[in-house]
Every structure is written in structure tokens, then in C-alpha cells.
Amino acid sequence: MRLLAQETGLPTNVVAVFLRKLRGKTATSAQVEREARQARLEAAYRRLEAAGQPYSGRALARAAQVALPTAQRFLRKPAGSSA
């Protein structure tokens, strides 16, 4: 933080506020990514189910383009649960 303040010529308290806001935006981006991943999982699950294909964690991970543990967690989660 001191280096950023030194390079920009801004007071450290201004730089601190900027960094806090920047970190908040990163958290928002992470939330957007989680929601997108969840939507991909749900859509892939529906496609596999509609096609009558057997769905395993691996098949779901491939169809939704997510990591295998993520797909396995999705399959273990009770239907209608958002957590």
C-alpha cells in the first residue's frame, strides 16, 4: 500500500479506500462466476436428463465445463437447495 501511495502521490488513506473497494469488486466477480457455474450445472443436468443419458459426476462436469468435484457436489446436493 505504501508503494502504491508513493508511486501515485496519493495519501495512504485514499489508497486504502481504493484497495478496499477493489477487493469488494473481486468478491462480486466471484459471486457472478459462482452463479454462472451453477446455471451451467443446472442446464447440463437438464440436458443429460432429457437425453436419457446416464449422468455421472464426470459426464456432468464435462457437459457443464466445471471441475469434477464441483459436479459431484452438485449431484449430492438436495434438489431445490441453493447452498
CA distances from 41 to 20, 33, 59, 83 (A): 32, 12, 11, 14
User: Per the domain annotation, does 39 fall within a domain?
Assistant: yes
User: Per the domain annotation, does 81 fall within a domain?
Assistant: no
Cell 465445463 sits on residue:
65
User: Per the domain annotation, does 8 fall within a domain?
Assistant: yes
When divided into structural domains, the chain yields a total of 1
pLDDT for 66 equals: 96
> Grid coordinates representing 60?
456432468
User: Per the domain annotation, does 10 fall within a domain?
Assistant: yes
Distance CA 28, CA 22 (A): 10
Which structural domain range is residue 53 located in? 2-76
Interval 51-68: pLDDT, tens:
998 779 999 999 999 999
pTM of the model: 0.62
